[in-house]
Amino acid sequence: MSMSSIHNRETVGGRMQAFVQELQRTIRSAIEEMDGQAVFQEDAWVRSGGGGGLSAVLAEGAVFEKAGVNTSVVYGELPEQVLADLLGNVSGADTRSFFATGISLVFHPRNPHVPSVHANFRYFALGDDLAHPVNQWFGGGADLTPYYPVLKDIQHFHRTWKDVCDAHDAADYEAFKKRCDTYFYLPHRGEARGVGGIFFDGLREAPEGTFAFVQEAGKAFLHAYAPIVARRRHEPYGEREQAFQALRRARYVEFNLLYDRGTKFGIDTGGRTESILMSLPPVARWEYDWTPDPGTPEARLQWFLQPRDWLSLPSGSDAP
């Protein structure tokens, strides 16, 4: 892939690159203001095979123990096995030249009553010319991982994504929600990582319309998450809640290391390890054969860890 092609801001890929870099600046500024104490540390990196990125990590804040907002633009030649894993029987397997750009963010709050959150939005193209790629597609999504869930918060999160999806022909909330429920699932635990959201990949049709949807989704992230933080950040907690938070964070680690395709792709294509593993929480805990006592707030979480039609539940309803 030629350098002139890579830096052509008129292509979908070039415009996506510009969008995620601007979104990174917007989200970083909002999170620093929300936290009020810590600031992001910038870390620019270069990929040996072509391209690089900018990792931005905030640590030991007043609201967030760890927050990461990373962007990347990488290109070059894909290993044959990675190409096969990506495409299967989809057209484009006759070229190994690729271009990928995206934004990935993960926030792990200090207060156990504030959920962790993850989102990413990405673009991938095959071929030597970004103006005429052999194949191109978008992927991404957002999901919420509460420790002491509140239905009002979950419904706000899902309503935000449904409103975004409903405004675009390229998006389907019901399908994206189902895919999120399926993807962010730990089969060895028999439970979801959290309460879902939306997840999409391989969106190849109508690239301009899909790009418009991805832009609106990226811009909607703060609206989906910030009100939840504002409602829960001052709720009291103690050692019990912190210990439970650490146990649940361990499930987050298990998913990311065992099942997450983005983690595997980053490692397999020579991405920067520190940036790839930015998603992991600062503290996690494994305790042998731990189960919550019946009737406790900790036991109540299990009701939320099975896929549900959150928006159809009456607003006054809650877990049994």
Cα(168)–Cα(288) distance, integer angstroms: 47
Single-letter code of the amino acid located at 48: S
Cα(280)–Cα(286) distance, integer angstroms: 14
Among the listed residues 108, 113, 118, 156, the single catalytic one is 118
Closest CA to 180 of 272, 165, 295, 232: 165
Closest CA to 184 of 174, 176, 175, 194: 194
For 212, other C-beta atoms within 10 Å of its C-beta total 16
Beta strand spans in the chain (E) = 41-46, 51-59, 64-77, 97-109, 116-126, 135-145, 185-186, 191-192, 196-203
Handedness of CA 255, 226, 31, 300 (dihedral sign): negative
Cα(193)–Cα(281) distance, integer angstroms: 14
156 assigned to active site: no
Sequence length of the chain is: 320
Q: What is the largest CA-CA distance in the chain?
A: 62
Tell me if 191 sits within 8 A of 305, measured CB to CB.
yes
Cα(34)–Cα(117) distance, integer angstroms: 15
Nearby residues of 284 by Cβ (< 8 Å), 6 or more positions away? 246, 247, 249, 250, 252, 253
Please report which residue ranges of 184-304 form alpha helices under DSSP H.
207-232, 239-258, 261-268, 273-276, 297-304
Active site residues: 118
